[in-house]
Amino acid sequence: MENGRHGGPMMWHQPWEDGGDAMVPAARVLVRGAPREGGTAEVAVSASALRVAVIVPARFGSSRCVGKPLAMLRGAGGVARPLIEWSWQAARAAAEALERQGVPLPTGGTETAGALLRADLDGDARGLSQPDAALPVRAEVWVATDDARIADCVRRFGGQVVMTAPDCRNGTERCADAVARLGLMADVVVNVQGDAPLMPPDAVARAVAALVGHSGAAMATAALRGGAEGAATEGGGAEGAGVTMVVANAAGRALYFSRAQVPFGAGAGGGLVHLGVYAYAPWALADYVRRPPSALEQAEGLEQLRFLEGAAPVMVALCDAPGWPVVELNHPQDAARIESILVQRGVD
């Protein structure tokens, strides 16, 4: 049992309960415990449901856009809602979709997920395959914040909220603190950024599938092709402000994340555009907060680089192009563009 960042037990999981649900075939796919010496972090289980905690971290003191979780945005119906409510709605919709479809669980072995990632990197992003079975999911959504104004706002629109420490340096640390304070026994923890109301609907499901389906993975995230419709860039290229690129190998494992255009030879519209969704193995999340910020993390301003510098395996799952630009609210001027996209999509 690990100790939480601010004291108290951090109970990551408990034995699966057979609540009468249909049991899935046993398979070596569940990442639930820290890797043992000479082994990996996979466990052979037969489970009734995968427990997924979806956390939306939100802080008031953004350096680029102070108070942005409470920035009011209008959708197609003209009703103004705070950014955190739009992002919470996107996270809840993703969690509900994950519960409906479950996580693909091929009985042929753990390499199937890696094969899908390799196929996606070689060609166009496509569906989540046709698995032999699907692992059922139980998911819950919380907003994690250290600000009473944001917490009150979340409670007013009916969301669950957890108060976290003010010294969390990024969303990953805030997610770890939230899990510890809630005493969650989650098998997967998902971070959906609080400034991303336009996140593709399949991003969470693909990240969770990549984590669960790949032996020993510490974290999985999502990406779009840089030239795909909906890539979060200006004019379809990678020169938009706030865009992060990711480079992955043929097996779908992340090699590097950068705010620069990488790889260099891809040019504008090439490469993979990173999306702000992370699925963590609980052991890796606990390990993350025990490590100090890494040199590359600080140089790029990208929290996920702490995993890579610590040699933790990070998987990248490609998402289908959603048909709209995936814009995050990083600067005040982004609000008008997000509102325009919400209206075009007919979202209220």
pLDDT of residue 229: 53
Is 3 inside a domain boundary?
Answer: no
Return the SS3 of 172: helix
Q: Is the pLDDT of residue 290 over 70?
A: yes
Mean pLDDT of 2-20: 32
**Which tokens sit at 177?**
């603190």
In a domain, 280, yes or no: yes
In a domain, 98, yes or no: yes
Residue with tokens 């030879």: 265
Range of the domain at 73: 43-345
Structure tokens at 205: 């499901």
Flag whether pLDDT at 267 surpasses 80.
no
End-to-end CA distance of the chain: 44
d(CA 240, CA 292): 30
Place of tokens 């702000």: 276
6 within some domain: no
Residue 108: is it exposed, middle or buried by C-beta count within 10 angstroms (0-12/13-18/19+)?
exposed
- Maximum mean pLDDT: which of 23-32, 44-53, 107-116, 123-132: 44-53
CA 178 to CA 182: how far, in whole Å? 6
79, 324, 326 from 74: Cα distances, Å: 5, 17, 17
Residue 32 lies in a domain: no
How confident is residue 225, by pLDDT bands cut at 50, 70 and 90? confident
The answer to the question of residue 85 being in a domain is yes
Per the model's pLDDT, the better-predicted residue between 251 and 37 turns out to be 251
pLDDT digits (tens, 9 = 90+) for 188-201: 999 999 999 999 88
φ, ψ at 325 (rounded to 5°):
-65, 130
Report yes or no on 2 lying in a domain: no
Q: What ranges make up the beta strands (E) of 193-271? A: 219-225, 245-248, 254-258
Number of domains within the chain: 1
- pLDDT band for position 226 (50/70/90)? confident
Other Cβ atoms closer than 10 A to 1: 6
Q: Mind listing the pLDDT tens digit for each residue in 49-102?
A: 899 999 999 999 776 667 899 999 999 999 999 999 999 999 999 999 999 999
pLDDT at 243: 86
Q: What interhelical angle do 203-212 and 111-122 show, nearest 10?
A: 130
Residue 240 has pLDDT above 60, yes or no: no
pLDDT at 201 (0 to 100): 83
CA nearest to 259, candidates 240, 278, 277, 276: 240
Higher pLDDT, 123 or 20: 123
Q: Which residues pair with 89 in a beta bridge?
A: none
Task: Report the predicted TM-score, pTM, of the whole model to 2 decimal places.
Answer: 0.80
| 271 occurs within a structural domain | yes
Give the span between the Cα atoms of 68 and 46, in whole angstroms. 43
Q: What average pLDDT does the chain have?
A: 79
- CB half-sphere exposure, 71, CA atoms < 13 A: 28
CATH number for the domain harbouring residue 219: 3.90.550.10
